[in-house]
């Protein structure tokens, strides 16, 4: 049973698990997915890539940023059966660039497959946004379901 007390202007409520079992009747305003003010996920509502997404870490802004953008854009817009199969050149260019900066993009695994695998391993130790590590699953889910922003805009922004 929950109990509650008042200490001056502050109110304190203690609740048990049962108290919180009934669904909440608090109303939240529905989110507008096209709200220009909101931070967007990896894929913008118009289908383009949001290069400023924190999930990309510093991939789009580093010394190999332009190569990365080319490779990833090619992949994103690829309509081949094996997605990105025509983008081998761009990926190779990116890989060559990244090899010039081993400190920034440590070579840990084969990078031919997807940009996300690269951004994962490449950016995890050093090349992050203002805070460290990324979740491994997020970028790959971005690849898998690129039409859908990862979970909700806020968690991915």
Partner 1 sequence: MLKCRTVWKKLAPLARASSTVCRQNVRRAGLNNGRIPTSVPTAHMSSGPAGGGGDNLKYALLVGLAGIGGLTYAIITVKGDQKRYEKRIAEIESRPSKATTDVQPKAPAVEASEPEEAVPEPEPEAAPSPEEPSPPAEVAAPGADVEAVAHDAEVAASSQTTEPPPADEPLVEASTEEAAASPAAVPVIEEADEPVVESPVEAAAPAAALVVEDEPSPPSEPPPAELSEQEPAPTAVEESEPAAAAAGPPAAEPPEPQPEVVAESAADSTPASAKVPSHAPYLLIGGGTASFAAARSIRARDPGATVLIVTDEPDLPYMRPPLSKELWFSDDPSVTETLRFKQWNGKERSIYFQPPSFYVKPEEFDSAENGGVAVLTSKKVVHMDVRGNKVKLDDNTEISYDKCLIATGGIPRNLQVVERAGEEVMKRTTLFRKIEDFKSLEKVSRNINSITIIGGGFLGSELACALGRRSTESGLEVIQMFPEKGNMGKVLPEYLSNWTTEKVKREGVKVISEALVKSVKYKDDKLEIHLKDGRLVKTDHIVAAVGLEPNVDLAKSAGLEVDSDFGGYRVNAELQARSNIWVAGDAACFYDIRLGRRRVEHHDHAVVSGRLAGENMTGASKPYWHQSMFWSDLGPDVGYEAIGIVDSSLPTVGVFAKATAKDTPKAATEKSGTGIRSESETEDTATSAVASATPAPAVEHKDDYGKGVIFYVRDKVVVGIILWNVFNRMPIARKIIKDGEEHADLNEVAKLFNIHED
114 or 123: whose CB is closer to partner 1?
A: 123
The pair of structure tokens assigned to 145 is 């379901």
Angle at 143 between CA 66 and CA 67, to 5 degrees: 10
2 or 85: whose CB is closer to partner 1?
A: 2
9 or 79: whose CB is closer to partner 1?
A: 9
How many residues bind to partner 1 according to rule CB under 8 A?
64
User: Which residues are within 8 A (CB) of 69 and not within 5 positions of it... i.e. 6 or more apart?
Assistant: 49, 51, 60
37 or 82: whose CB is closer to partner 1?
A: 37
Q: Select the residue interacting with partner 1 from 42, 43, 60, 87 (CB under 8 A).
A: 60
- Shortest Cβ 95–partner 1 spacing (Å): 16
Provide the strand spans (E) within the chain: 3-7, 10-14
- Give the per-residue contact string, 106-135, with partner 1 (x = CB under 8 A; - = no): ------------------xxxxxxxxxxxx
Q: What backbone torsions phi and psi does residue 119 show, to the nearest 5 degrees?
A: -65, -35
Neighbouring CB atoms inside 10 A of 78's CB total 14
């Amino acid at each position: 049973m929950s109990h509650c007390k008042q200490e001056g202007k502050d109110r304190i409520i203690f609740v048990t698990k049962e108290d919180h079992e009934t669904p909440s009747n608090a109303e939240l305003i529905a989110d507008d997915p096209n709200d220009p003010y909101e931070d967007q996920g990896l894929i913008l509502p118009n289908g383009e890539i949001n290069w400023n997404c924190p999930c990309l870490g510093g991939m789009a802004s580093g010394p190999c940023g332009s190569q990365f953008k080319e490779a990833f854009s090619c992949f994103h817009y690829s309509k081949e059966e094996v997605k990105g199969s025509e983008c081998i050149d761009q990926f190779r260019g990116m890989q060559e660039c990244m090899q010039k900066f081993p400190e920034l993009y440590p070579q840990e695994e084969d990078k031919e497959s997807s940009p996300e695998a690269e951004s994962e391993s490449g950016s995890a130790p050093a090349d992050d946004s203002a805070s460290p590590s990324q979740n491994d699953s997020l970028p790959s889910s971005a690849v898998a379901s690129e039409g859908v922003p990862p979970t909700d805009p806020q968690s991915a922004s």
